[in-house]
Structure 1
Amino acid sequence: MSLHFEHIDLHGRPHLRLTAADGARADVSLHGAQVTSWQPADGRERLYVSPLASHAPGKAIRGGIPVVFPQFAGRGTMIKHGFARLLDWQFRGIEYDVGSGPAAAFELRDDAATHAHWPSRFQARLHVVLDPACIEVGLEIRNVDDAPFAFTAALHTYLRVDDLMEASLHGLETARYLDSARAEAHMPATGDAVRFGTETDRIYPDAVAPLTLRDGSGVVQITARHFRDTVVWNPGPELAASTADLGAGEHRHFVCVESGTVIEPVTLAPGENWSGVQRLRALPGSA
């Protein structure tokens, strides 16, 4: 198995284009180490990026797979979703001793920009693996400080759908959830697949069972390792229309299914590591 890369410019920002032996392709922006495109060998784009997304320095890219670290959403005193998605990472080459195959490796280390938000010293690494019909994204955090620190993290994955009204997410039927659209009200399991239309903003604690997103013409299977929680989000029509980097009607083209550890923070002692992995597998619509 091989993984080739080339440096390209997209939207005025440096990216890595990764190509697997079977023709699968992924683009990763060095801004945030954010995967902005994933096309399996069938050539169909499986990630969503808003046509109004900002690619300016210091701004979050709306879409793809943003890296959320060291804080999820507003659950803390830091900037929403942390700073990892707002900073430039370094490409460290192709590595062969991590993940399930050769992986493109990206790194972020603490510096003055991170210390403005968080005093801790850390090393973050992101690994991107392309397998036949699959992409695997792994996030690793290492404490290089002299004191323990705690954090939350997630891969805020925007999955493209042809028609939101036909989309359904399976695998969470028996899971309770927090409804973030209703001040994190505690909600019981619904017994049904998740369907969309109005604003959906749910955190499923301790729910990382294999999930399947169906939208009529395609299927994506989602699995995770070492993440504890699942977040499901779609802004619905009103919030999308009022969001500057989305716009009216854009909510119909994606569903966010996020693998994360967002309820109970991870605490690392000096020298300790933590890692979490999300794996996406694309299948035909009839699967």
Structure 2
Amino acid sequence: MPATIEHIDFHGLPALRLRTAGGAAAVVSLYGAQVLSWSPPGGGERLYLSPQAVFDGRTPIRGGIPVCFPQFADLGTLPAHGFARTATWSVVTERTGADFALLTLALSDDATTRAAWPHPFRAELGILIEDSRLDLELEVENTGDQALAFTAALHTYLAVREVEESRLEGLHGFEYRDKLDANRIKRDSGDVLLIEAETDRVYHDVKRPLLLREYDRSLGINADGFPDVVVWNPWVERSAAIADLPDDAFRRMLCVEAAAAHEPVRLPAGETWWGRQTLVAL
């Protein structure tokens, strides 16, 4: 069976299902250009999607890979994480090959975005599944005649068997901002990062691939263009306080996000920026 891209309805929202001949699959919502599911060949969902996620076309979808643009978190005057994750994107490209499926979605400025953020722009998100790999590439073009600045992230919710048994490797020695400790700047000194409490960190200028180890599987995580890595887990009390998360959701998820958050991206008129995140099931 060749690779396919199928237009589907996903909980009432228009979406696309990508499949490869080798058995990889993904679901992408046009609302937010959000990857909601990804399973490599052999099965096993690798993204966490909350069973209490809201699919009303107005509310951000809890889980998968939301696109944060043109603002990450509360680093600005826009609503948290910007407007891209609650906008409807358009399909630019659908391509399939011997064992890959590629989808490109686009979002451009309009009256609604300019009212919140007065800059002309065009954003494209490329989504590729091939073998055991998921590639996401975000490209932002400044289509105006003045420079603009933004922060951004691919807010990746990874599915884990048990977060307390997971090990995130590759962050040793890097500086990070600890949001849970008055945004103090610290340096990671451990060989691995263990999640044993609420965690909300932005690691700066991470220059090596990461590895998420579980007892029976691992996931390689690499970024290009995105200088920072965000690690987030809501833990017990925060998980219980978030309406669209089950109380025990913290056990089954870990956000490891490719981000440009420490310093805004400053983009001159007519120029283009891109950032990529690659996940490889091992």
TM-score under structure 1 length normalisation: 0.94
Give yes or no for contact 1:176–1:188 (8 Å, CA) kept in 2: yes
Q: Pick closer, same or farther for the CA change 1:44–1:102 going to 2, 3 Å.
A: closer
- For residues 151-206 of structure 1, the C-alpha deviation after alignment (integer angstroms, 9 at most, x for no partner) is 01110000000111101100001112110111211112223311112100011010
Q: Counterparts of 1:1-287 in structure 2 under 5 Å?
A: 3-94=3-94, 103-283=102-282
Deviation at 1:102, TM superposition (A): 5.5
- For residues 110-168 of structure 1, the C-alpha deviation after alignment (integer angstroms, 9 at most, x for no partner) is 11221121010100000011111100000000011111100011100000001111011
- For residues 13-61 of structure 1, the C-alpha deviation after alignment (integer angstroms, 9 at most, x for no partner) is 1110011221210000000000000011111100000011111122111
Aligned equivalents of 1:113, 1:251: Cα separation in 2 = 34
- For residues 224-248 of structure 1, the C-alpha deviation after alignment (integer angstroms, 9 at most, x for no partner) is 1111100000001100001001131
Give yes or no for contact 1:162–1:217 (8 Å, CA) kept in 2: no
Q: Pick closer, same or farther for the CA change 1:75–1:265 going to 2, 3 Å.
A: same
Give yes or no for contact 1:208–1:230 (8 Å, CA) kept in 2: no
Amino acid at match of 2:48: Y
Give yes or no for contact 1:172–1:211 (8 Å, CA) kept in 2: yes
Aligned equivalents of 2:223, 2:95: Cα separation in 1 = 21
How many aligned residue pairs are there?
A: 278
Aligned equivalents of 2:29, 2:246: Cα separation in 1 = 23
Deviation at 1:103, TM superposition (A): 2.3
Deviation at 1:93, TM superposition (A): 2.3
Aligned equivalents of 2:92, 2:187: Cα separation in 1 = 44
Give yes or no for contact 1:34–1:85 (8 Å, CA) kept in 2: yes
Aligned equivalents of 1:30, 1:89: Cα separation in 2 = 5
Aligned equivalents of 2:62, 2:216: Cα separation in 1 = 24
Mind listing any 5+ residue stretches in structure 2 that lack a counterpart? none
- For residues 235-286 of structure 1, the C-alpha deviation after alignment (integer angstroms, 9 at most, x for no partner) is 0110000100113111100100001111111111111000000000001xxx
Give yes or no for contact 1:208–1:227 (8 Å, CA) kept in 2: no
Aligned equivalents of 1:95, 1:228: Cα separation in 2 = 29
Deviation at 1:95, TM superposition (A): 5.2
